[in-house]
Amino acid sequence: MTILDFGLLLVVAAITGALGQGLAGYSMGGCLTSMLIGFIGAWIGGWLSGLLRLPELLTVQVGPTPFPIVWSILGAALFVAGLALLRHPRRI
């Protein structure tokens, strides 16, 4: 993996993390946080899609590394929604 591939992977992760935060309706921070959330979302989404035996819908090949776009966005949204519930629980 070259430096250009790594930079492109960071940009894709930041975009998917930001979309996941927008989908969840809760923002946790800036660009670096979005990158981290995008990578965590890719891991969670990939794990869930493998567990449920769902196909890869949209995968971007960045150098030797495949990055699942749809599962990253959905995984990031689930991760951010879970953190939002832990940080700000609703009181009845």
* Contact (Cβ atoms closer than 8 angstroms) between residue 75 and residue 43: yes
Q: Which domain holds residue 32?
A: 15-87
* Contact (Cβ atoms closer than 8 angstroms) between residue 27 and residue 17: no
Q: Is residue 1 part of a domain?
A: no
The torsion angle over the Cα atoms of residues 7, 23, 52 and 39, rounded to 10 degrees, is 20
Burial class (CB in 10 A: 0-12, 13-18, 19+), 41: buried
Kindly give, in sequence order, each residue whose CB lies less than 8 Å from that of residue 61, ignoring residues fewer than 6 positions away: 67
pTM of structure? 0.86
Output the average pLDDT for the chain. Answer: 89
The count of structural domains within the chain is: 1
Predicted confidence (pLDDT) per residue in 32-46, tens digit: 999 999 999 999 998
Average pLDDT of span 64-86? 91
Q: Is residue 80 part of a domain?
A: yes
